[in-house]
Amino acid sequence: MAIDYPQVAGEIARLYEKPFGGKTRGRFRISMKNMRQLTGAKRLYETDILLLTRALYDVGFTIIDMETFFVILSHRTFVSYRRLNDDSIGSDDS
């Protein structure tokens, strides 16, 4: 059975908005076991993770592979991060 990456990405986006773990919504981690369950795959290959990464990106999420689990973040999380500019790269303010 082939993995439906857009469908899995949609399910992950739905989980992001679902209350659990003491939070009303937001970033979370998912175990490799739970990811296999979510995808319906017995084993996830590098190609599967790449295709899931692309599908998640299309719906506004980033997945970080931590080897034994994955971290899911919304792209909105990164909007308020400070920006590095040219002056910062060349400065030696250590």
Q: Which of 5-14, 22-31, 83-92 has the lowest mean pLDDT?
A: 83-92
Q: What's the pLDDT tens digit per position in 33-72?
A: 999 999 999 999 999 999 999 999 999 999 999 999 999 9
The whole-number average pLDDT for the span 64-82 is 92
Percent helix, strand and coil across the chain, each to the nearest 5:
45, 20, 35
Which token pair is 59? 């719906």
Q: Which domains does the chain have, with CATH numbers?
A: 5-78 (3.30.1370)
Q: What is the pLDDT of residue 16?
A: 94
Torsion angle (degrees, nearest 10) of CA 4, 5, 7, 9: 160
pTM of the predicted model over 0.85: no
